[in-house]
Structure formats: structure tokens, C-alpha cells
Amino acid sequence: MTWADGLLLIIGLPVLGAAFYLGVLTLLSGRVAAPAPGANARATRVTFVVPAHDEAAGIAATINSLAAVDWPAEALRILVLADNCSDDTAARARAAGARVIERDDPAHRGKGYALALAFTTLINEGWSEAVIVVDADSVVSTNIVSAVVAHLARPGHWGAVQVFYGVRNPLASWRTQLMTIALAIFHRLRGRARARLGVSTKLNGNGMGFAVAALRAVPYQAFSIAEDLEYGIALVRAGIGIAYADEASISAEMVSQADRAVSQRDRWDGGRATLRRTYAVPLVEEAVRARTLERFDLAMEVLVPPLSAVVALLGLWSVAVAVVAFWVAVPLWALSLGALAWTCLLMHVMRGVVLSGLGPVGWRALAFAPFYVAWALLLRLRRRGTRTAWVRTGRE
């Protein structure tokens, strides 16, 4: 192996590893069986928690969706946590039939603080046995409670559940079509693969279910702008598994306009970047010590950058290979590994289109993917620091 080969290998290992990892998840993304409900499952007392910040326009529709689920009324409650609201979110939520807690603490704004207060309140009251978090712009499938309860009752270490999280307005624009494909990749494809591997999925912030016993064992102290991933890491580190419920779903509105999408994209990428800097090295060390698939997958979840970044990095590495081939010699091993990595990413995206349910619309939307990737990369390069405050994304 020449010095050029060695340099290409060192530079390429991270992105090649990420691509192969995503390829393996793609191959494991077949359907997963739903667990059978327990004999007394419908007696489980469940509370929906809805964190809301200035959501007056849509809060009633979300509450109506929650009230219509297939679960005994005497075992179901809805709690809206109105966090630092400047509109009449609280009044509209009460009028729709929900219990409301109003929180006014401008110095500590954010979804994490809202959830911490809601969970502490429910734990202290002692009525709830399970909690499901629903964002204030979402609608749920009628079986969401039965699915969460069934997964929490499975034998093993499962103390949390994540249902499939999709897009409520998939046909609003090419941007929401691509988001539909992206969430099919991030949530359904990868969730199914992890379910088949028997390891924890990641929490996605919306449609998360928890056994109150798990919330009591691992107090909610996740206050970053990626509070879902942060708390998921804490649960897995404590030995509490996060099951994936593919049979139930929640869908939320995604922005279709670029100006509104900027803050949302910045929050997602910035939050994950912060957690990557904080947890990457400790999680890799723990994975090496534990030698378990679950810890390895958790480390990869934190290490692997967004798909747009993986594509860009693999593209840069491919250019480097081409330059070396032009000036020195064609490194056959690099060409082979590069071709395999590109195949893995292509499979990953194509499987996402199939799982998105968009049909021909999804395939046509891929024509806009290069523009979306370029936009996401430019936004990432322009970012100065990391946002720490909870900034509400503008609604349509």
C-alpha cells in the first residue's frame, strides 16, 4: 500500500463506515410484528402530555385527536403544559377539554423544561402509569395508546416507546415531500431495523411513550434543544430500552417555505452537533467496554451526521480518489469501497421513498434532493455557534 492509499484510507474510514452502517440498517428494514396486548392492558392509566408554546391556532384540533383514541375514557387524561405563552393557548386547551398547567419562566424556556414539570407533576400525583408526549400541532392514530401500552408490557428492559413520526402535510410542497421521505428514513426504516436487531430506537420528540416507573428511575433532566435524543441517551445508559412501535403513528405539520424551515433545520442540526461533541467519545468508550450491539448502535446514532452531510463527505472523498487515480494510479480497493458506499446510500434513499407511501410523487420529489442537500449544507456552514433557546417554528 502506497502513502496515497494509506492517506485515502484514513480520510475515508469515517464516511465509509457511516455509509455501510446505513446500508445494513436498510437491509433490516422489513416489517416488524406488533406485540399482542395483555389481558388487562386497557385498564392501564395513561396521560397525554402536550407541551405548547403559542399554539392557540391548532391546540383544539390536537386535543380532539387525542380524545378520539381507542382507549377507555376513565383510563385516559390529557394534560397541556402551556409554556411561556403570549396568546390564549391555555384558554383554548381548557375549552377543548384538557387539563392545563401554565408555566411562566422566561429565563428557562423550552420543551425540556415544560416536560420536566409535567412529568414531575404526574409522578407526584400517582394516577398515571404511562405517559405519551404529543406536540401541539400533531394528530395521532387511534391505536397509539394500545400500541404504547403493549410495547411497554413486553418482556425485557423496555421502559419507553417511540411510535412512527411522519408528516401531516406531505403534499404541501416539494420540501414537505422530501421531509416525508426523510422521516420515513430516519424514523420508519431505522426504527424497524433496530426493532429487528432487538436494540433501542431513538426518541424523536413527538409520539414518545414512557412508563412512569422509567420516568421515576431516570428523572427528566434534558434541557438542550435536542432534548429527545439527550433523554434517550440517558435511558439507554441506565439500562432502560426504547421500543419502536411501527403499527401506530403520529404526524405533525412540516414547514413548506424556506424562510420558516431555516430555524427548524438549525435547531435540529445544531442540537445534534452539541450532543455529538458532548457524548461521542464517552459513548464510543462505553460501547468498546460493554461490547453490546445496543451500545454500539447508540454510539453510531450520535456519530453519524445527517444524511446530507454523509452524501457531501462521500462526494469529497470520491473526488480525492479520482485525483489520486489521475496523478498516481487507480486504487482498486478505493474504487470498490466507494462504489459499495454509494450503493448503500442509494439503497437507503430508495427504501425511504418506498416507505414514505408517496408513490410516484416521491420519486419525482427526488429531483429536488440536490437543491435540498446544498441548502442544508450552506445552512450548516453559515451557522455561528449553537442555538440553545427553544424557538417555535412558524406554522403554515
pLDDT at 260: 57
Pairing of strands 76-83, 99-103: parallel
Q: How far is 233 from 276, CA to CA, in rounded Å?
A: 11
Q: What is the pLDDT along the chain (396 residues), one digit of tens a residue?
A: 576 777 788 888 999 999 999 999 999 999 999 998 888 899 999 999 999 999 999 999 999 999 999 999 999 999 999 999 999 999 999 999 999 999 999 888 889 999 999 999 999 999 999 999 999 999 999 999 999 999 999 998 999 999 999 999 999 999 899 999 999 999 999 999 999 999 999 999 999 999 999 999 999 999 888 899 999 999 999 999 999 999 999 999 887 665 555 556 656 666 777 788 888 888 899 899 988 899 999 999 989 988 988 999 999 999 888 887 777 776 778 888 999 999 999 999 999 999 999 999 999 999 998 888 887 777 767 665 444 455 555 555
What strands, in cross-sheet order, belong to the sheet with 130-133?
A: 99-103, 76-83, 46-52, 130-133, 208-211, 158-167, 241-252, 138-140
Please give the DSSP secondary-structure letter assigned to residue 38: P
Report whether 232 contacts 202 (CB < 8 A): yes
pLDDT at 146: 97
pLDDT at 270: 66
In this structure, what C-alpha cell is assigned to residue 362?
416521491
Angle, vertex CA 182, rays to CA 181 and CA 185, nearest 5:
90
pLDDT at 160: 98
Report whether 64 contacts 96 (CB < 8 A): yes
Q: How far is 58 from 171, CA to CA, in rounded Å?
A: 19
Q: How far is 24 from 108, CA to CA, in rounded Å?
A: 41
Q: What is the pTM of this model?
A: 0.90
In this structure, what C-alpha cell is assigned to residue 241?
430500552
Report whether 355 contacts 167 (CB < 8 A): no
Angle, vertex CA 381, rays to CA 257 and CA 351, nearest 5:
60
